[in-house]
């Protein structure tokens, strides 16, 4: 398994990560099988959030599953989305962060979090207050590195400048949506990430399954899949333009004896600013497929062709 650094931190993560958003919805034994298989295959990067699994369930399951293997993984979690129904809370504030991190540490049954990510911007709190609180957690050894998510390119640059000016721990990662059918990050966000020495962690790298090759235009959606369970994802991704892109990419893969899943991983990993492709899994076989998919290295010519095939507008 290849590894890459998370931005300017010393953390090395596997280029295939495991998204744990399904844990806490799956039963703990099903989640255990996924985690065990991932670790056995060399996946060392596990990404969750306090809100995953019906507010806390994912972290609780990971804490129960990892045990002595905790030391073998780079464990990432997030704070900042609503853990209760109080919409007035300032979830970027120092007081909130100090409580949220202790709750996550307890659920995860660990003394430290490797990557602690600000899940969504809080308009109620100045970024300096958020960064100072996170810097204190780094200095205390409770957090090794920090990241952001869903922050605009201007916010990424401003946070980096603030951390530099005030001597605070900087965000080393940005977790944002990026895939072959959602490439908006290329306009402003990716240049900002690169300029700040950060790494991108793409979420929805497979467009919630559209890029796995198991869906076909005009065909019935398979039962039990994400599109089958949650129609909002189908409504979001199954547009005529996305189907055109998927069909063109499928032809590209067929000509090379490759799968669409392999291309989705290979294209993302061709970006040097990207540290790891974090994909969720509900079965060990999905982890196996993801690890295999990451073994395709695109040539410069193939990368350019895929860029053209997946361009919109």
Query: What stretch of H or E contains 262?
Result: helix 260-269
Q: Where are the domains of the chain?
A: 3-209+268-298
Q: How far apart are CA 54 and CA 43, in angstroms?
A: 25
Lowest mean pLDDT among 97-106, 164-173, 204-213, 231-240: 231-240
Residues 6 or more apart whose CB falls under 8 angstroms from that of 103 comprise 50, 56, 83
Check whether 233 has a pLDDT greater than 80: no
User: What average pLDDT does this structure show over 253-265?
Assistant: 97
Check whether 17 has a pLDDT greater than 50: yes
Tokens of 139: 């200095």
8 A C-beta contact, residue 134 and residue 102: no
Q: How far apart are CA 157 and CA 189, in angstroms?
A: 9
Q: Which residues of 42-68 are buried (b: 16+ CB within 10 A; e: fewer)?
A: ebbbbbbbbbbbeebbbbbbbbebbee
User: What average pLDDT does this structure show over 262-280?
Assistant: 96
Smallest CA-to-CA distance from 50 within 65, 39, 63, 36 is with: 63
Task: Report in angstroms the alpha-carbon separations of 245 from 8, 153, 203, 279, 306.
Answer: 35, 26, 19, 21, 10
Lowest mean pLDDT among 68-72, 84-88, 154-158, 165-169: 84-88
Check whether 50 has a pLDDT greater than 90: yes
For the chain, give the percent of residues with pLDDT over 70. Answer: 94
* Residue 52 annotated in active site: yes
pLDDT (0 to 100) of residue 207: 92
| Residue-averaged pLDDT of the chain | 93
Check whether 119 has a pLDDT greater than 50: yes
Confidence tier at 228 by pLDDT (50, 70, 90): very low
- The model's pLDDT over 23-43, given as tens digits with 9 standing for 90+, comes to 999 999 999 999 999 999 999
User: What average pLDDT does this structure show over 154-164?
Assistant: 98
Query: What stretch of H or E contains 241?
Result: helix 240-254
Set 52, 118, 178, 215: catalytic member: 52
pLDDT (0 to 100) of residue 168: 98
Q: How far apart are CA 68 and CA 51, in angstroms?
A: 24
Burial of 299 (0-12, 13-18, 19+ CB in 10 A): exposed
Check whether 266 has a pLDDT greater than 80: yes
User: What average pLDDT does this structure show over 130-137?
Assistant: 98
- Residue 186 burial (CB count, 10 A): 11
Superfamily of domain 3-209+268-298: NADP-dependent oxidoreductase domain (3.20.20.100)
pLDDT (0 to 100) of residue 222: 62
Beta strands in the chain (DSSP E): 3-5, 12-14, 16-19, 45-47, 74-79, 113-118, 143-149, 171-177, 199-203, 277-280
Pairing between β-strand 74-79 and β-strand 113-118 as defined by DSSP bridges: parallel
pTM attached to this predicted model: 0.93
């Amino acid at each position: 398994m290849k590894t890459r650094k998370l931005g300017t931190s010393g953390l090395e993560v596997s280029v295939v990560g495991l998204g744990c958003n399904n844990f806490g919805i799956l039963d703990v034994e099903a989640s255990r099988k996924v985690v065990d298989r991932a670790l056995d295959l060399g996946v060392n990067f596990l990404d969750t959030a306090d809100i995953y699994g019906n507010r806390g369930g994912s972290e609780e399951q990971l804490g129960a599953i990892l045990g002595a293997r905790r030391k073998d993984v780079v464990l990432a979690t997030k704070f900042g989305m609503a853990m209760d129904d109080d919409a007035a809370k300032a979830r970027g504030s120092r007081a909130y962060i100090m409580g949220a991190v202790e709750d996550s540490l307890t659920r995860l049954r660990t003394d430290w979090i490797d990557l602690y990510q600000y899940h969504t911007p809080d308009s109620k709190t100045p970024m300096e207050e958020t960064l100072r609180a996170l810097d204190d957690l780094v200095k205390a050894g409770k957090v090794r590195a920090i990241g952001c998510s869903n922050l605009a390119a201007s916010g990424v640059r401003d946070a980096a400048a603030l951390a530099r000016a005030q001597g605070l721990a900087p965000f080393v990662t940005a977790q944002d949506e990026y895939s072959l059918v959602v490439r908006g990050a290329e306009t402003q966000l990716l240049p900002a990430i690169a300029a700040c020495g950060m790494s991108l962690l793409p979420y929805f790298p497979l467009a919630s399954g559209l890029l796995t090759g198991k869906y076909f235009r005009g065909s019935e959606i398979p039962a039990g899949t994400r599109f089958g369970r949650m129609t909002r994802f189908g409504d979001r991704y199954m547009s005529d333009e996305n189907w055109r892109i998927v069909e063109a990419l499928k032809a590209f893969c067929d000509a090379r004896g490759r799968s669409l899943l392999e291309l989705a991983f290979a294209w993302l990993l061709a970006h040097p600013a990207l540290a790891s492709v974090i994909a969720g899994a509900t079965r060990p076989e999905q982890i196996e497929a993801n690890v295999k998919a990451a073994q395709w290295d695109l040539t410069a010519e193939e990368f350019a062709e895929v860029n053209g095939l997946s361009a919109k507008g």
